[in-house]
């Protein structure tokens, strides 16, 4: 068996080869990622649903330092973050701004996060005065018109413009005395620098919380003027002899020449918005650096729960697809690409569910075909109308499809295929970037998963961009949330995607597909008896939103997560597939028919089981008690009878002694919850399953009489 190091080498080679295949076809498909990390040991609200917190900010500064250290000559910016509807002020955002070619954009004093903690970086007010005077001198030397204003000893302001600004006063331009953009609510249309919109650019000089000199930068709309300003500010600050300098203000402009990576707070996690990458290998390198920085700060990409259950960090792991520039985005180059992508995801539920944590119409990333029936019908018409257009322009595509790429509340940000930044005239500055964000991804546990997903999705885009793909939605009906809730059928469908990509010469090599098929985090336990082996996996459950739906537009929503679904998969071991014949299953005394199917591993008997794991304080079905443990009876005429009990907690009772220390410890806890006992063949007559409790692929114990 190959070592982990050998596998990583094979994996990297496969990624490189796949990138080369796409490059040979002249395809420009850039990819970006948003990994999220949490403190899996902490019970503090900021790491369990809360967006903000002092510890979270301190960890973010540590991550920022490590990211900045790998990009010499980069500028560290503590820029304006996003503001959410239920929040009073914008969140903070820490970022690293660098030229992709390695040319330095910052030669000035470092951000204090890059200094040894014992070094005093405080700045006296007179140093600010000197810095202001040097800035005025350097700006004037560039032929810019300048003016200065003093609102307080540590509140100095420099205004500059390419146009004459003689005679401007605080009375004539009150925005000059505006509060910091960090301390004011962001308007609904986004952060707007009213002065910059009139070619008046305001630099605010003051002190950071720790006494370090601070400059708030104006809003600039092109990279070259912004880099020129950074060079001027850095030179002036170095001339003054500042030990450190904090750069804040509006977020910087970006294009293909710069790499802009940010660290921001989100409910329960830190979110890293990685700079877009031209290849899957580049994304692999970026995510490896992000994971290393996060892990060094004690943060994790996943959570281990007391009973061994594994979940992602809690913030998801979204992928963004686009081009080097908006104009070269594959979604602009091939106008029918987005309609085809919607339909391809509709035809292949594995792309929606195989890599997700929570799914369904109430999730934060519902599929386009999970909306109300009348909306899905209208989407079919929209796709038909676009297909009739010989060359629809990007804005027409956006206006046609955006109303359907929303969640059940009409939120355009929360959709599996998010087109907010495709060609959105309603979103200033960042609405027309040619980007499509795929939001149904759980946070990958390792960087290689990111690269594998990037390779898969870039291959899908390449395959659809070549044409000959349907723009018809697939009507799965009840199977969508029944059959494709089960990992067996998700892997089966994913292999169909692989076969389709292989037919078009776009399938990544085996190490990448192996990574995509790996679902060890779902395995709850494995038991072998006779010539059969039972694998129990966590399946997908589609939790409903409850409560006042109109009031749940914030950063979190109330779900009834009390229902669990597991998959039972029985296979013959060291025997012909015919050895599966004769096995029967009963659950709590009710006969449950198993579905016989085949995949690349051979024949299998498969079924899903749903049950209520706990009774929520607020939830659906208040009269329905929790059900546990699940009692399964597997019987074969020649192999004997076995009782398998699936416990949600320790079979022997009592509390766990702390959280699992690692993934292996978590797996041991899950395995001990699956208890096998060989029994005599049951003498009692078993009952047939109630029709209401049984679908083709699932047995729902919540319909059974309470015993």
The answer for residues whose C-beta is within 8 angstroms of residue 427's C-beta and 6 or more apart is 190, 420, 421
pLDDT at 555: 52
452 — pLDDT class (breaks 50, 70, 90): very high
pLDDT at 548: 58
- Mean pLDDT confidence for 37-49: 95
Taking the model in full, what pTM does it have? 0.93
Q: Token pair for residue 202?
A: 């305001």
Helix, strand, coil shares of the chain as percentages rounded to 5? Answer: 35, 25, 45
Buried b (16+ CB within 10 A) or exposed e, 657-679: eeebeeeeebbebbbebbbeeee
| Sign of the alpha-carbon torsion through 397, 406, 423, 322 | negative
Query: Residue 20 in contact with residue 505, Cβ under 8 Å?
Result: no
Give CA–CA dist 614/648, Å, rounded: 10
pLDDT at 558: 81
Q: Token pair for residue 118?
A: 């014992």
Give CA–CA dist 309/670, Å, rounded: 7
pLDDT digits (tens, 9 = 90+) for 515-560: 999 999 999 999 998 889 999 999 999 988 886 545 545 556 688 8
pLDDT at 639: 87
Give the least confident one: 396-405, 453-462, 677-686. 677-686
pLDDT at 574: 80
- Mean pLDDT confidence for 68-81: 96
683: β partners:
none
CA distances for 10 relative to 13, 15, 17, angstroms: 5, 9, 11
Buried b (16+ CB within 10 A) or exposed e, 264-297: bbbbbbbbbbbbbbbbbbbbbebbebbbebbeeb
Give CA–CA dist 401/403, Å, rounded: 6
Cα atoms in the Cβ-side hemisphere of radius 13 Å centred on 293? 27
pLDDT digits (tens, 9 = 90+) for 83-95: 887 888 999 999 9
Cis before residue 629, ω within 30 degrees of 0?
Answer: yes
Give CA–CA dist 160/162, Å, rounded: 7
Give CA–CA dist 410/125, Å, rounded: 50
707 — pLDDT class (breaks 50, 70, 90): low
pLDDT digits (tens, 9 = 90+) for 295-354: 999 999 999 999 999 999 988 889 999 999 999 999 999 989 999 999 999 999 999 999
Query: Residue 262 in contact with residue 93, Cβ under 8 Å?
Result: yes
371 — pLDDT class (breaks 50, 70, 90): confident
pLDDT at 684: 53
Distance between alpha carbon 231 and the CA centroid of its chain, in Å? 34
Residue-wise DSSP of 483-551: GGGSHHHHHHHHHHHHHHHHHTT-PPPHHHHHHHH--GGGEEEEEEETTEEEEEEE----PPB-S-GGG
Give the least confident one: 69-83, 138-152, 469-483. 469-483
Cα atoms in the Cβ-side hemisphere of radius 13 Å centred on 106? 23
- Mean pLDDT confidence for 152-160: 93
Is residue 500 predicted with pLDDT exceeding 80? yes
The answer for residues whose C-beta is within 8 angstroms of residue 127's C-beta and 6 or more apart is 213, 240, 241, 242
Q: What integer best gives the mean pLDDT of the chain? A: 92
Is residue 431 predicted with pLDDT exceeding 80? yes
The answer for residues whose C-beta is within 8 angstroms of residue 467's C-beta and 6 or more apart is 334, 336
- Mean pLDDT confidence for 209-234: 96
């Amino acid at each position: 068996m190959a070592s982990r190091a050998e596998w990583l080498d094979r994996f990297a080679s496969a990624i490189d080869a796949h990138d080369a295949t796409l490059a040979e076809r002249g395809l420009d498909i850039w990819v970006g990622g948003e990994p999220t990390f949490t403190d899996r040991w902490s019970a503090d609200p900021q790491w369990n649903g809360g967006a903000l917190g002092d510890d979270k900010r301190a960890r973010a500064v540590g991550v920022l330092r490590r990211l900045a250290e790998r990009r010499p000559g980069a500028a560290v910016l503590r820029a304006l973050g996003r503001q959410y509807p239920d929040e009073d002020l914008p969140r903070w955002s820490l970022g690293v701004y660098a030229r992709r070619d390695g040319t330095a954009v910052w030669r000035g004093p470092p951000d204090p996060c890059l200094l040894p903690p014992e070094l005093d970086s405080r700045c006296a007010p007179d140093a600010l005065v000197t810095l202001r005077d040097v800035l005025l001198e350097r700006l004037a030397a560039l032929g810019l018109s300048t003016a200065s204003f003093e609102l307080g000893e540590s509140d100095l302001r420099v205004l500059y413009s390419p146009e004459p600004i003689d005679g401007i006063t605080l009375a004539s331009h009150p925005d000059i005395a505006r509060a910091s953009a960090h301390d004011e609510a962001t308007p609904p249309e986004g952060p707007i620098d009213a002065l910059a919109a009139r070619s008046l650019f305001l630099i605010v000089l003051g002190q950071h919380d720790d006494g370090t000199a601070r400059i708030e930068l104006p809003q600039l709309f092109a990279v070259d003027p912004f880099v020129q300003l950074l060079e001027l500010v850095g030179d002036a600050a170095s001339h003054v002899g500042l030990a450190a300098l904090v750069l804040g203000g509006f977020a910087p402009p970006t294009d293909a020449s710069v790499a802009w990576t940010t660290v921001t707070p989100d409910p329960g996690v830190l979110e890293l918005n990685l700079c877009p990458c031209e290849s899957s290998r580049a994304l692999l390198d970026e995510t490896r650096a992000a994971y290393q920085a996060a892990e060094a700060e004690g943060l994790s990409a996943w959570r281990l729960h007391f009973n061994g259950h594994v979940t992602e960090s809690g913030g998801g792991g979204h992928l963004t697809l686009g081009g080097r520039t908006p104009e070269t985005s594959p979604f602009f180059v091939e106008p029918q690409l987005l309609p085809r992508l919607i339909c391809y995801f509709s035809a292949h539920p594995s792309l929606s569910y195989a890599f997700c944590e929570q799914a369904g119409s109430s999730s934060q990333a519902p599929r386009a075909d999970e909306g109300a029936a009348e909306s899905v019908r209208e989407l079919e018409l929209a796709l038909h109308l676009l297909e009739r257009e010989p060359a629809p322009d990007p804005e027409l595509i956006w206006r046609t499809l955006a109303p359907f790429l929303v969640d059940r509340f009409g939120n355009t940000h929360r959709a599996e295929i998010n087109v907010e930044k495709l060609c959105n005239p309603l979103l200033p500055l960042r609405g027309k970037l040619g980007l499509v964000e795929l939001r149904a991804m759980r946070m990958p546990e390792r960087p290689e998963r990111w690269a594998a997903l990037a390779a898969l999705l870039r291959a899908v885009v390449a395959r659809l961009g070549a044409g000959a793909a349907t723009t018809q939605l697939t009507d799965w009906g009840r199977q969508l949330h029944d059959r494709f809730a089960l990992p067996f059928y998700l892997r089966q469908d994913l292999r169909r995607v692989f076969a389709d990509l292989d037919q078009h010469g776009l399938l990544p090599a085996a190490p990448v597909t192996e990574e995509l098929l790996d679902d060890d985090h779902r395995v709850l336990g494995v038991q072998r008896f006779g010539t059969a082996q039972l694998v129990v996996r966590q399946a997908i459950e589609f939790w409903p939103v409850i409560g006042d739906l109109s009031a749940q537009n914030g950063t979190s929503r109330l779900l009834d997560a009390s229902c669990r679904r597991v998959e039972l998969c029985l296979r013959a071991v060291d025997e012909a597939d015919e050895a599966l014949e004769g096995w029967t299953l009963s659950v709590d005394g009710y006969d449950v028919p198993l579905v016989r199917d085949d995949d690349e591993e051979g024949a299998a008997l498969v079924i899903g089981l749903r049950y209520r794991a706990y009774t929520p304080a607020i939830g659906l079905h208040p009269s329905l008690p929790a059900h546990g443990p699940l009692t399964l009876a597997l019987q074969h005429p020649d192999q004997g009878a076995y009782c398998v009990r699936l416990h949600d907690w320790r079979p022997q009772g009592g509390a766990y002694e702390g959280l699992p220390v690692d993934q292996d410890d978590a797996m041991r806890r899950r395995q001990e919850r699956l208890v096998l006992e060989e029994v005599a063949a049951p003498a009692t007559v078993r009952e047939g399953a109630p029709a209401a409790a049984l679908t083709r692929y699932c047995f729902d114990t919540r319909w059974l009489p309470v015993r």
